[in-house]
Amino acid sequence: MSPLVEVRDLCKHFPVGAGATVFAVEGVSLEVGQGETLAVVGESGCGKSTLAHTMIRLHDPTSGQVVLDGVDISTLGNRALREHRRKMQIIFQDPFASLDPRRPVGRAVAEPLHIHGMATGSEADDLVADLFVKVGLEANMMRQYPHQFSGGQRQRVCIARALATNPQLVIADEAVSALDVSIQAQVINLMMGLQAELGLSYLFISHDLAVVERMSHRVAVMYLGQIVEIGPRRAIFENPQHSYTQRLLDAVPIADPRARRDRPLLTDEIPSPVWPAGTSPERVVMREVVPGHLVAEEA
Amino acid sequence: MEPLLSVRGLTVTFGSFTAVEDVSFDIHAGQTLAVVGESGSGKSVTALSIMRLVELGTRGKIEGGEILFRTPDGDLIDLVQQSEDAMRVIRGNQISMIFQEPLTSLNPVYSVGDQVAEAVILHQGLDRDAANERVLEMFRLVRIPEAEKRMAQFPHEMSGGMRQRVMIAMALSCDPKVLIADEPTTALDVTIQAQILGLMRDLREQTGAAVLIITHDMGVVAEVADDVVVMNRARVVERGSATQIFESAAEPYTKALLASVPRLGSMAGRDEPAPFDLVEYQS
């Protein structure tokens, strides 16, 4: 079966003055299967959010392709793009910033239905009510305003809005990072339940490796705009091959005081992704460890 | 051993809202106490109350309780009863604090070296040259590479991790007895967080200061804390050593909190993703 989404050699570069360029995403290739969660992990500035935004065409790619359900959407015009965007929705980190404070939340959830001509009037209201129930809210909450909700409830509203168009792929860009840990766990359980129920695929952008280990099928590790390791979750967590993957995993605090580790007092940091005029980063070369588990060659 | 700082029955209100209610705990020299809780539990207000910053600007009011502090001279004083002038001598000198976001704690138009020197000159009465010597010493202590060059840099020229090192250098520059760290690594990437936590642990051993760390992250608690106070809805719900809290928590809230913490390695050997086994908690 062909994957739902195929990203081929995707690049997104931003000019930053004086001829310099940020190579935010550089030659990324990946696939997301039907009903699968692919997590993209990495630290600030590694390009994981830019990758997500470029895939959904919030940025136009510098080069490369994004094939969704057999169609290359990377070069589609606005009208054609809209039709395909219905299949692909995004949830952001801060649900408060994603909702209009002056409108009842039900209208935010109904908006995609209107935009895509899927339903209007009482028919839309019924669909919104169903969506509220699906994400664990009460149907009558659709008449309330964002400030009347807790952070976790607001993120449930954003999930309901993302599901309104019956998408096949939902991109979650640090969607649980701003939530308190008990609420985070509830929202993750909700997302996993919805995946089982609806056969959704997730592209799960996160800096939190412990959360990723819980909910993903496959994991891609990004470093300075490029994927340095990608494979099944167990391969990445139980048999990490790249030194950066190992370093990330070693840095995660473990919630067990008996497992406390002595850490070397390092001070090194990730280099800048800005390249002066006329220079560019070297592309990594991937090697297959076992089928499906790829790692960048290291010098 | 006698505590260095002892919070007894602290209650703090904002108008009709009680943010902290009857909170008590002790902090000992050379030990790290973690106050852990979720948003709105009152953990940061507790920290700000010890510094007596809660009444400044935020209209908080310490309604009751004592904050007993053993001064370097051996006197036992109640911080709640101190005048603003007296507090100004204590703050930054005997008790200092670092915050979550170092960029908002630093002045963008002065070099970081000058800002740390200012604290040293103010609190220790050193002249400019001696202060600069002290700053260099502190920058080396917190392992800022190329410390001399870095002193001349401005905050925007540094990474988040380096800025937090500057804040720690400033906080430790006057040899405080107590260091309060309010979510010191929350804004940092995980590899940088590991560096800063390691540094804080190392410095506590070197300086013998007592550390009070405020955090929402049970992973951070497990990494650094000797003792733990769990807060929920303005009150302390449970206290104990780190191992007691993690291995035999007694209170339903603590159990529910721990059940929702994602733990790296908990999925080893399992092919498919799995939801959290959540513990119901009704407050």
Count of C-beta atoms within a 10 Å radius of residue B146: 9
Task: Look at residue A232 in the predicted model and tell me its pLDDT.
Answer: 97
- List the one residue out of A68, A82, A91 whose CA is nearest residue A8: A68
Distance of CA A71 to the CA centre of its chain: 20
How would you classify the pairing of strands B32-36 and B61-70?
unpaired
Q: What is the ipTM of this complex?
A: 0.84
Contact with chain B for residue A271, Cβ under 8 A: no
Give the dihedral sign, CA B148/B154/B160/B163: positive
Cβ atoms B199, B141 nearer than 8 A? no
> What band does A196 get if pLDDT is binned at 50, 70 and 90?
very high
Cβ atoms A157, A95 nearer than 8 A? yes
| Alpha-carbon gap, residue B38 to A186, rounded angstroms | 14
Do B266 and A214 lie within an 8 Å CB cutoff? Answer: yes
Task: Look at residue A160 in the predicted model and tell me its pLDDT.
Answer: 96
Which residue out of B183, B216, B223, B228 would a mutagenesis test of the A interface target, given it has the greatest number of A Cβ atoms within 10 Å? B223
CA distance readout (Å), B104 to A93, B4, B40, B167, B196: 21, 30, 21, 11, 18
Task: Look at residue B67 in the predicted model and tell me its pLDDT.
Answer: 98
Count of C-beta atoms within a 10 Å radius of residue B156: 9
The amino acid occupying position B41 is S
Q: Considering only residues 22 to 61 of chain A, which have any Cβ-Cβ distance to chain B shorter than 8 Å?
A: 37, 43-44
Burial of residue A275 (CB within 10 Å: 0-12, 13-18, 19+) is middle
Nearest CA in chain A to B228: A257
CB contacts of A179 in chain B (<8 Å) are none
How would you classify the pairing of strands A88-91 and A169-173?
parallel
The amino acid occupying position B88 is R
How would you classify the pairing of strands A286-290 and A88-91?
unpaired
Cβ atoms B135, B117 nearer than 8 A? yes
Q: First CA to last CA across chain B, in angstroms?
A: 36
| Alpha-carbon gap, residue B179 to A13, rounded angstroms | 43
Task: Look at residue B282 in the predicted model and tell me its pLDDT.
Answer: 64
| Alpha-carbon gap, residue B29 to B177, rounded angstroms | 7
Do A256 and B262 lie within an 8 Å CB cutoff? Answer: no
In tens, the pLDDT along A125-182 reads: 999 999 999 999 999 999 999 999 999 999 999 999 999 999 999 999 999 988 899 8
Q: What is the mean pLDDT of chain A?
A: 93
pLDDT of chain B, 283 residues: tens digit per residue: 789 999 999 999 999 999 999 999 999 999 999 999 998 899 999 999 999 999 987 789 999 999 999 998 899 999 999 999 999 999 989 999 998 888 888 999 999 999 999 999 999 889 999 999 999 999 999 989 999 999 999 999 998 889 999 999 999 998 899 999 999 998 888 888 988 898 888 888 888 999 999 999 999 999 999 999 999 999 999 999 999 999 999 999 999 999 989 888 889 999 899 999 888 776 5
Cβ atoms A38, A220 nearer than 8 A? yes
How would you classify the pairing of strands A286-290 and A293-296?
antiparallel
Cβ atoms A158, A90 nearer than 8 A? no
Angle at B165 between CA B162 and CA B171, to 5 degrees: 150
Query: H helices within chain A, ranges in order?
Result: 48-55, 78-85, 105-115, 121-134, 151-163, 181-198, 209-215, 233-238, 243-251
CB contacts of A153 in chain B (<8 Å) are none
CB contacts of A192 in chain B (<8 Å) are 273, 275
The amino acid occupying position B124 is Q
Q: Pull the structure tokens for residue A271.
A: 């280099």
CA distance readout (Å), B133 to A152, B113, B139, B177, B221: 49, 10, 10, 22, 34
Contacts 24+ apart (CB under 8 A), B55-64: B58/B14, B59/B14, B59/B15, B60/B12, B60/B13, B60/B14, B60/B19, B61/B12, B61/B13, B61/B14, B62/B10, B62/B11, B62/B12, B63/B11, B63/B12, B63/B13, B63/B18, B64/B9, B64/B10, B64/B11, B64/B22
Strand partners for A25:
A12
CB contacts of B217 in chain A (<8 Å) are 181, 253
Question: What's the helix, strand, coil split of chain B in %, to 5?
Answer: 40, 25, 35
Task: Look at residue B46 in the predicted model and tell me its pLDDT.
Answer: 96
DSSP B132-188: HHHHHHHHHHTT-TTHHHHHT--GGGS-HHHHHHHHHHHHHTT--SEEEEESTTTTS
Across the interface, of A215, A255, A265, the residue whose CB is closest to B263 is A255
CB contacts of B265 in chain A (<8 Å) are 213, 237, 254
Phi, psi of B214 (to 5 degrees): -105, 125
- Out of A185-199, A258-272, B59-73, which region has the weakest mean confidence (pLDDT)? A258-272
> What band does A1 get if pLDDT is binned at 50, 70 and 90?
low
Task: Look at residue A219 in the predicted model and tell me its pLDDT.
Answer: 98
| Alpha-carbon gap, residue B71 to B204, rounded angstroms | 18
CB contacts of B220 in chain A (<8 Å) are 253
Look up tokens 């910053």; give the residue: B53
Do B221 and A266 lie within an 8 Å CB cutoff? Answer: no
Cβ atoms A270, A281 nearer than 8 A? no
Nearest CA in chain A to B262: A210
For residue A254, pLDDT beyond 90: no
Angle at B67 between CA B64 and CA B68, to 5 degrees: 135
A170 SS3 class:
strand
DSSP A96-161: TTTS-TTS-HHHHHHHHHHHTTS--HHHHHHHHHHHHHHTT--GGGGGS-GGGS-HHHHHHHHHHH
B245 SS3 class:
helix
Report which DSSP code applies to A75. T
For residue A80, pLDDT beyond 60: yes
How would you classify the pairing of strands A71-72 and A88-91?
unpaired
